């Protein structure tokens, strides 16, 4: 009797789950995008190995969602697309690979591992979003870079805010994603150019 009762409850639970499965919305499927590969360029090298830190970013820029800021200030998530990983991690990788490809330092790392790198590149990500005003769309990216002497945590140089603006874009997820990927590439190149002009001589590199 008890066995039949339990079997009845189990069958009822499975039937209820099936009904709810038909009523509850399915998780949204989203296309996943990576940032572009670094491009060929040359740069004057820093005098010591460089650790590229993960850019600092406040929510909601710290995750994989692609942000849309409307004219009234409302922040939304761009439907149907997302980044392949949290955005700061993708930017860290792109910055490190771009600097390395350009010859911007004798050695470039993204983690300190078991040794301490003499120089560190820190950065603040202030914006990386699509902006919509009516039917008009643009994208805006902004990053500030800092070269730090690891020995005493002293900031040797800070860049002016590096701003990338792209306007008059089609108001589509495809256009926004393509423009933001291009903006990331331009940010990485401009940081590399900025680094090539920084004097790290004030840091004890031994």
- pTM for this one? 0.84
Peptide bond into 181 cis (omega under 30): no
Residue 11 confidence (pLDDT): 46
Nearest in space to 88 (alpha carbons), one of 121, 117, 53: 53
Q: Rounded to an integer, what distance in angstroms lies between the CA atom of residue 86 and that of residue 32?
A: 12
Kind plus residue range of the DSSP H or E element containing 95: helix 87-102
The domain limits of the chain are 29-196
Tell me the DSSP string of 103-154.
T-SS-EESS-TTS--SEEEEEEEEEEEEEEETTEEEEEEEEEEEEEETTTTE
Using an 8 Å Cβ cutoff, are 182 and 33 in contact?
A: no
C-alpha separations of 47 from 72, 118, 180, 181, 191 in Å: 47, 9, 32, 30, 17
Q: Rounded to an integer, what distance in angstroms lies between the CA atom of residue 51 and that of residue 30?
A: 33
- Which position has the token pair 């189990």? 10
Residue 17 confidence (pLDDT): 44
Residue 189 confidence (pLDDT): 98
Tens-level pLDDT at each residue, the chain (206 residues): 444 544 444 444 444 444 434 444 445 688 999 999 999 999 999 999 999 999 999 888 999 999 999 999 999 999 999 999 999 999 999 999 999 999 999 999 998 664 688 999 999 999 999 999 999 999 999 999 999 999 899 999 999 999 999 999 999 999 999 999 999 999 999 999 999 999 998 887 76
Fold of 29-196: Rossmann fold (3.40.50)
Residue 1 confidence (pLDDT): 43
92-119: string of b/e by CB count within 10 Å (b at 16+)?
bbbbbbbbbbbbbbeebbbeeeeeebbb
Q: Dihedral angle at the C-alpha atoms of 44, 143, 131, 136, nearest 10 degrees?
A: -30
Q: Rounded to an integer, what distance in angstroms lies between the CA atom of residue 146 and that of residue 124?
A: 9
Q: Rounded to an integer, what distance in angstroms lies between the CA atom of residue 55 and that of residue 76?
A: 22
Residue 13 confidence (pLDDT): 47
Please report the beta strands in 62-118, taking only residues with DSSP state E, as ranges in sequence order.
Answer: 67-70, 75-77, 81-83, 108-109
Residue 196 confidence (pLDDT): 95
């Amino acid at each position: 009797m008890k066995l039949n009762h339990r079997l009845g409850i189990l069958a009822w639970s499975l039937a209820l789950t099936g009904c709810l499965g038909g009523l509850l919305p399915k998780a949204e499927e989203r296309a996943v995008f990576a940032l572009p590969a670094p491009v060929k360029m040359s740069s004057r090298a820093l005098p010591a190995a460089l650790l590229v830190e993960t850019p600092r970013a406040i929510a909601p820029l710290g995750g994989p969602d692609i942000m849309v800021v409307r004219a009234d200030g409302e922040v939304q998530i761009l439907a149907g697309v997302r980044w392949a990983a949290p955005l700061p991690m993708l930017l860290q990788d792109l910055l490190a690979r771009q600097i390395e490809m350009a010859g911007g330092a004798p050695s470039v790392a993204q983690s300190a591992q078991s040794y301490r790198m003499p120089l560190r590149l820190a950065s603040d990500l202030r914006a990386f979003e699509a902006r919509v005003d009516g039917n008009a769309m643009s994208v805006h990216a902004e990053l500030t870079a800092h070269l730090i002497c690891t020995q005493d945590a002293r900031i040797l140089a800070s860049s002016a805010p590096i701003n990338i603006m792209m306007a008059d874009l089609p108001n589509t997820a495809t256009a926004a994603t393509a423009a933001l990927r291009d903006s990331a590439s331009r940010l990485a190149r401009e940081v590399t150019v900025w680094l090539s002009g920084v004097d790290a001589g004030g840091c004890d590199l031994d």
